[in-house]
């Protein structure tokens, strides 16, 4: 199953139905950052992001498409340096507000990063600083990665 289809199906789950607009926007920012951290976001990936986000019950002040474009601009402007990544994900963590949603966001970002079976340095840094900014323990991170590896048929 293509990664964006997987993510879209995951966020249509029951537990995502009651998240706030602020939390939806933070989740979008995580997904966008995971896809854009390599510095390139192709048109097809942009369209896939919009398709995923249409699964959410958008109640924003700006249109969904506008928010996605703004999120893409922010994500592609992020410098993959520790201080900037940590600040970025700490701010997103505050908007996510709940530990279960932080863990879900980390899980989804990890699935996006691992979808092509290779992790470039910028993606490794993104995942490292997501964990740090979201306050996910090393044990919980390992549990999440084990689940992903099993789902993806990886050793």
The predicted-structure confidence for 15-37, as pLDDT tens digits, reads as follows: 777 888 999 999 999 988 988 88
What is the three-state SS of 61-77? CCCHHHHHHHHHHHHHH
Is the distance from CB of 134 to CB of 105 less than 8 angstroms? yes
Where in the sequence is the domain holding 146, given as residue range(s)?
A: 3-151
Share of the chain above pLDDT 90, in %: 32
Please report which confidence band the pLDDT of residue 1 belongs to, taking 50, 70 and 90 as the band edges.
low
Per-residue pLDDT at 48 exceeds 70: yes
Cα dist. 77→33, 36, 41, 71, 121 in Å? 10, 9, 12, 10, 17
Structure tokens at 151: 């789902």
The mean predicted confidence, pLDDT, of the chain is 85
The CATH number given to whatever domain includes residue 140 is: 1.10.3680
When divided into structural domains, the chain yields a total of 1
Residues 110-152: tens digit of each pLDDT: 988 887 777 788 888 889 999 999 999 999 999 998 998 888 8
């Amino acid at each position: 199953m293509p990664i964006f289809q997987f993510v879209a199906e995951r966020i249509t789950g029951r537990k995502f139905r009651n998240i706030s607009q602020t939390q939806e926007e933070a989740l979008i920012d995580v997904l966008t950052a995971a896809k854009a951290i390599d510095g390139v976001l192709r048109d097809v990936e942009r369209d896939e992001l919009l398709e995923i986000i249409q699964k959410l019950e958008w109640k924003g002040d700006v249109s969904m498409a506008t928010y996605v474009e703004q999120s893409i601009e922010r994500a592609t402007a992020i410098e993959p340096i520790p201080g900037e990544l940590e600040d970025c994900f700490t701010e997103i963590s505050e908007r996510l507000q709940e530990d279960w949603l932080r863990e879900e966001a980390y899980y989804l970002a990890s699935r996006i990063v691992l979808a092509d079976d290779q992790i470039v340095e910028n993606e490794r840094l993104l995942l490292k600083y997501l964990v740090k900014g979201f306050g996910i323990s090393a044990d919980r991170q390992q549990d999440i990665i084990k689940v992903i590896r099993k789902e993806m048929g990886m050793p």
